Chains A and B, each alone.
Chain A
Amino acid sequence: DAKTTQPPSMDCAEGRAANLPCNHSTISGNEYVYWYRQIHSQGPQYIIHGLKNNETNEMASLIITEDRKSSTLILPHATLRDTAVYYCIVRASGGSYIPTFGRGTSLIVHP
Protein backbone atom coordinates (compact mmCIF):
# COMPACT_ATOMS: atom_id res chain seq x y z
CA ASP A 1 0.00 0.00 0.00
CA ALA A 2 1.35 3.39 -0.90
CA LYS A 3 1.91 5.55 2.15
CA THR A 4 1.79 9.31 2.25
CA THR A 5 3.83 11.82 4.22
CA GLN A 6 2.54 15.28 5.08
CA PRO A 7 3.83 18.04 7.34
CA PRO A 8 1.90 18.01 10.62
CA SER A 9 1.01 21.69 10.49
CA MET A 10 1.13 24.81 8.34
CA ASP A 11 -0.22 28.29 8.51
CA CYS A 12 -1.25 30.77 5.88
CA ALA A 13 -2.45 34.37 5.77
CA GLU A 14 -6.01 34.97 4.69
CA GLY A 15 -6.26 35.79 1.01
CA ARG A 16 -2.94 34.17 0.16
CA ALA A 17 -2.46 30.85 -1.54
CA ALA A 18 -2.07 27.82 0.69
CA ASN A 19 0.19 25.13 -0.77
CA LEU A 20 -0.03 21.82 1.02
CA PRO A 21 2.57 19.20 0.04
CA CYS A 22 2.25 15.44 0.10
CA ASN A 23 4.91 12.83 -0.53
CA HIS A 24 3.82 9.47 -1.94
CA SER A 25 7.07 8.06 -3.27
CA THR A 26 5.82 4.44 -3.34
CA ILE A 27 2.70 5.17 -5.36
CA SER A 28 1.93 2.61 -8.03
CA GLY A 29 0.61 3.16 -11.52
CA ASN A 30 -3.06 2.55 -10.79
CA GLU A 31 -3.26 4.60 -7.61
CA TYR A 32 -5.01 7.93 -7.55
CA VAL A 33 -4.13 10.79 -5.23
CA TYR A 34 -7.11 12.03 -3.22
CA TRP A 35 -7.39 15.01 -0.93
CA TYR A 36 -9.93 15.42 1.85
CA ARG A 37 -10.28 17.96 4.59
CA GLN A 38 -11.87 17.83 8.00
CA ILE A 39 -13.16 20.96 9.60
CA HIS A 40 -13.43 20.78 13.37
CA SER A 41 -16.30 18.60 14.61
CA GLN A 42 -17.33 17.59 11.09
CA GLY A 43 -16.76 14.53 8.96
CA PRO A 44 -14.03 14.55 6.31
CA GLN A 45 -15.02 16.22 3.04
CA TYR A 46 -13.78 15.29 -0.42
CA ILE A 47 -11.81 18.04 -2.17
CA ILE A 48 -10.20 16.74 -5.35
CA HIS A 49 -8.39 13.78 -6.85
CA GLY A 50 -6.07 13.00 -9.77
CA LEU A 51 -4.01 10.31 -11.43
CA LYS A 52 -1.24 12.04 -13.33
CA ASN A 53 -2.59 15.25 -14.78
CA ASN A 54 -3.09 18.44 -12.84
CA GLU A 55 -6.67 18.98 -11.78
CA THR A 56 -8.70 22.01 -10.79
CA ASN A 57 -12.19 22.43 -9.40
CA GLU A 58 -14.10 25.12 -7.56
CA MET A 59 -12.38 24.28 -4.29
CA ALA A 60 -8.73 23.74 -5.15
CA SER A 61 -6.04 22.75 -7.62
CA LEU A 62 -3.98 19.57 -7.50
CA ILE A 63 -0.49 19.54 -8.94
CA ILE A 64 1.08 16.09 -9.35
CA THR A 65 4.77 15.83 -10.24
CA GLU A 66 5.71 14.07 -13.43
CA ASP A 67 7.15 11.09 -11.56
CA ARG A 68 3.99 11.05 -9.39
CA LYS A 69 6.04 10.76 -6.22
CA SER A 70 4.60 13.92 -4.73
CA SER A 71 1.73 16.33 -5.11
CA THR A 72 0.60 19.74 -3.89
CA LEU A 73 -2.88 20.87 -3.02
CA ILE A 74 -3.36 24.56 -3.70
CA LEU A 75 -6.07 26.69 -2.14
CA PRO A 76 -5.64 29.82 -4.29
CA HIS A 77 -7.18 32.35 -1.92
CA ALA A 78 -7.36 30.87 1.57
CA THR A 79 -10.11 32.06 3.89
CA LEU A 80 -10.58 31.56 7.62
CA ARG A 81 -13.11 28.83 6.81
CA ASP A 82 -10.33 26.80 5.17
CA THR A 83 -8.79 26.18 8.59
CA ALA A 84 -8.95 22.38 8.82
CA VAL A 85 -6.95 19.17 8.76
CA TYR A 86 -6.08 18.18 5.19
CA TYR A 87 -5.54 14.53 4.33
CA CYS A 88 -3.69 13.24 1.30
CA ILE A 89 -4.42 9.59 0.53
CA VAL A 90 -3.83 7.22 -2.34
CA ARG A 91 -6.44 4.80 -3.61
CA ALA A 92 -6.23 2.12 -6.24
CA SER A 93 -8.94 1.82 -8.85
CA GLY A 94 -11.16 -1.19 -8.29
CA GLY A 95 -10.19 -4.06 -6.03
CA SER A 96 -10.61 -4.06 -2.28
CA TYR A 97 -7.98 -1.54 -1.31
CA ILE A 98 -9.17 0.76 1.43
CA PRO A 99 -7.11 3.87 2.09
CA THR A 100 -5.96 5.01 5.49
CA PHE A 101 -6.21 8.68 6.34
CA GLY A 102 -3.10 9.18 8.44
CA ARG A 103 -2.61 12.34 10.51
CA GLY A 104 -2.87 14.90 7.75
CA THR A 105 -1.75 18.53 7.82
CA SER A 106 -3.40 20.95 10.22
CA LEU A 107 -3.77 24.19 8.26
CA ILE A 108 -4.43 27.37 10.18
CA VAL A 109 -5.49 30.39 8.15
CA HIS A 110 -4.93 33.58 10.10
CA PRO A 111 -6.27 37.10 9.47
Chain B
Amino acid sequence: DAGVIQSPRHEVTEMGQEVTLRCKPISGHDYLFWYRQTMMRGLELLIYFNNNVPIDDSGMPEDRFSAKMPNASFSTLKIQPSEPRDSAVYFCASSHQMLDSDGYTFGSGTRLTVV
Protein backbone atom coordinates (compact mmCIF):
# COMPACT_ATOMS: atom_id res chain seq x y z
CA ASP B 1 0.00 0.00 0.00
CA ALA B 2 1.32 3.46 -0.86
CA GLY B 3 0.10 4.89 2.41
CA VAL B 4 -1.79 8.15 2.83
CA ILE B 5 -1.00 10.40 -0.10
CA GLN B 6 -1.20 14.16 0.14
CA SER B 7 -0.74 16.78 -2.54
CA PRO B 8 0.84 19.14 -3.08
CA ARG B 9 3.85 18.76 -0.77
CA HIS B 10 4.45 22.48 -0.79
CA GLU B 11 2.14 25.35 -1.63
CA VAL B 12 2.98 29.03 -1.71
CA THR B 13 0.12 31.40 -2.36
CA GLU B 14 -0.78 35.03 -1.97
CA MET B 15 -3.13 36.28 0.68
CA GLY B 16 -6.73 36.21 -0.52
CA GLN B 17 -6.26 33.30 -2.90
CA GLU B 18 -8.12 30.02 -2.63
CA VAL B 19 -6.06 27.01 -1.59
CA THR B 20 -7.08 23.36 -1.98
CA LEU B 21 -5.22 20.56 -0.25
CA ARG B 22 -5.82 16.98 -1.29
CA CYS B 23 -5.67 13.63 0.45
CA LYS B 24 -6.02 10.01 -0.62
CA PRO B 25 -6.47 7.73 2.39
CA ILE B 26 -5.41 4.11 2.62
CA SER B 27 -7.87 1.88 0.84
CA GLY B 28 -10.34 0.30 3.26
CA HIS B 29 -9.85 2.86 6.00
CA ASP B 30 -13.15 4.16 7.35
CA TYR B 31 -11.84 7.27 9.12
CA LEU B 32 -10.08 10.29 7.70
CA PHE B 33 -8.61 13.13 9.75
CA TRP B 34 -7.22 16.55 8.87
CA TYR B 35 -4.65 18.06 11.24
CA ARG B 36 -2.75 21.33 11.21
CA GLN B 37 0.68 21.80 12.79
CA THR B 38 2.32 25.08 13.75
CA MET B 39 5.13 25.95 16.11
CA MET B 40 2.77 27.93 18.30
CA ARG B 41 -0.10 25.46 18.62
CA GLY B 42 1.44 22.09 17.86
CA LEU B 43 -0.65 19.42 16.13
CA GLU B 44 -4.36 20.30 16.08
CA LEU B 45 -7.26 18.23 14.80
CA LEU B 46 -9.39 20.23 12.37
CA ILE B 47 -12.05 17.76 11.24
CA TYR B 48 -12.63 14.06 10.81
CA PHE B 49 -14.85 11.89 8.61
CA ASN B 50 -16.33 8.45 9.09
CA ASN B 51 -17.47 6.64 5.96
CA ASN B 52 -17.21 9.92 4.03
CA VAL B 53 -19.47 11.79 6.45
CA PRO B 54 -18.08 14.70 8.50
CA ILE B 55 -18.44 13.80 12.17
CA ASP B 56 -16.74 16.59 14.08
CA ASP B 57 -15.57 19.87 12.57
CA SER B 58 -15.25 21.76 15.83
CA GLY B 59 -11.53 22.20 15.21
CA MET B 60 -12.02 24.09 11.97
CA PRO B 61 -10.78 27.59 12.79
CA GLU B 62 -13.38 29.61 10.90
CA ASP B 63 -15.74 29.69 7.95
CA ARG B 64 -12.87 30.25 5.55
CA PHE B 65 -12.01 26.57 6.03
CA SER B 66 -14.08 23.78 4.50
CA ALA B 67 -13.50 20.08 3.98
CA LYS B 68 -15.20 17.51 1.80
CA MET B 69 -14.96 13.80 1.22
CA PRO B 70 -16.91 13.01 -1.96
CA ASN B 71 -15.88 9.34 -1.91
CA ALA B 72 -13.90 6.86 0.14
CA SER B 73 -10.67 7.53 -1.70
CA PHE B 74 -10.47 11.31 -1.76
CA SER B 75 -10.78 14.32 0.52
CA THR B 76 -10.07 18.02 0.16
CA LEU B 77 -9.40 20.82 2.61
CA LYS B 78 -10.10 24.24 1.15
CA ILE B 79 -9.18 27.66 2.49
CA GLN B 80 -10.91 30.63 0.88
CA PRO B 81 -9.69 33.31 1.20
CA SER B 82 -6.29 32.37 2.58
CA GLU B 83 -4.47 34.52 5.13
CA PRO B 84 -0.83 34.59 6.29
CA ARG B 85 -1.83 33.08 9.66
CA ASP B 86 -2.99 29.95 7.81
CA SER B 87 0.65 29.14 7.06
CA ALA B 88 1.29 25.72 8.57
CA VAL B 89 1.84 22.08 7.73
CA TYR B 90 -1.45 20.30 7.08
CA PHE B 91 -1.56 16.56 7.65
CA CYS B 92 -4.14 14.03 6.57
CA ALA B 93 -4.43 10.72 8.42
CA SER B 94 -6.62 7.67 8.07
CA SER B 95 -7.47 4.64 10.18
CA HIS B 96 -9.56 1.52 9.84
CA GLN B 97 -11.58 2.22 12.94
CA MET B 98 -11.52 4.47 15.94
CA LEU B 99 -9.23 2.10 17.76
CA ASP B 100 -7.01 0.67 15.11
CA SER B 101 -4.29 -1.73 16.16
CA ASP B 102 -1.77 0.21 14.12
CA GLY B 103 -3.02 3.63 15.08
CA TYR B 104 -3.49 6.38 12.61
CA THR B 105 -1.43 6.46 9.42
CA PHE B 106 -0.36 9.96 8.50
CA GLY B 107 0.53 11.40 5.15
CA SER B 108 3.70 13.39 4.57
CA GLY B 109 1.86 16.67 4.89
CA THR B 110 1.40 19.82 2.82
CA ARG B 111 3.50 22.81 3.84
CA LEU B 112 1.39 25.88 3.13
CA THR B 113 2.89 29.35 3.01
CA VAL B 114 0.59 32.32 2.53
CA VAL B 115 2.41 35.55 1.72
Q: Would you call A96 and B106 a contact (CB within 8 A)? A: no
A44 adjacent to B42 (CB under 8 Å): no
Binds B, one of A12-20, A73-81, A99-107: A99-107
Q: Which chain A positions have C-beta within 8 A of B45?
A: 98, 100
Closest 3 CB pairs of A and B: A43-B106, A46-B103, A101-B43
Choose among B42, B44, B105, B107 the residue that contacts A46 (Cβ–Cβ < 8 A): B105
Cα of A29 to Cα of B66 in the assembled complex, Å? 36
Q: Which of B66-107 contact A (CB under 8 A)?
A: 91, 93, 98-99, 101-107
- Which B residues are closer than 8 A to A by beta carbons? 4, 33, 42-45, 48, 55-56, 91, 93, 98-99, 101-109
Since A98-B45, A100-B43 are in contact, a sample of 17 more A-B pairs with Cβ atoms closer than 8 Å, ordered by chain A residue number, is A38-B43, A43-B4, A43-B93, A44-B91, A44-B93, A46-B103, A87-B43, A91-B99, A93-B98, A95-B98, A96-B55, A96-B56, A98-B33, A98-B48, A98-B56, A100-B44, A101-B43
Q: How large is the interface on A (under 10, 10 to 19, 20 to 34, 35 or more residues)?
A: 20 to 34
CA–CA, A34 to B102, complex, Å? 10
Residues of chain A with a CB closer than 8 A to B107's CB: 43
Contact of B106 among A41, A45, A93, A100 (CB under 8 A): A45
> Is the CB of A111 closer than 8 A to any CB of chain B?
no
| Whole-angstrom distance between the Cβ of A53 and the nearest chain B Cβ | 14
Q: Is the CB of B99 within 8 A of A101?
A: no
Q: Which residues of B are found within 8 Å of A34, using beta-carbon distances? A: 103
Instruction: Tell me whether B104 and A44 are in contact (CB under 8 A).
Output: yes
**Bound: A103/B103 CA distance, A:** 18
User: What are 12 A-B pairs at a CB distance below 8 A?
Assistant: A32-B99, A34-B103, A36-B104, A43-B91, A43-B106, A44-B43, A46-B102, A49-B103, A87-B43, A93-B98, A98-B45, A100-B43
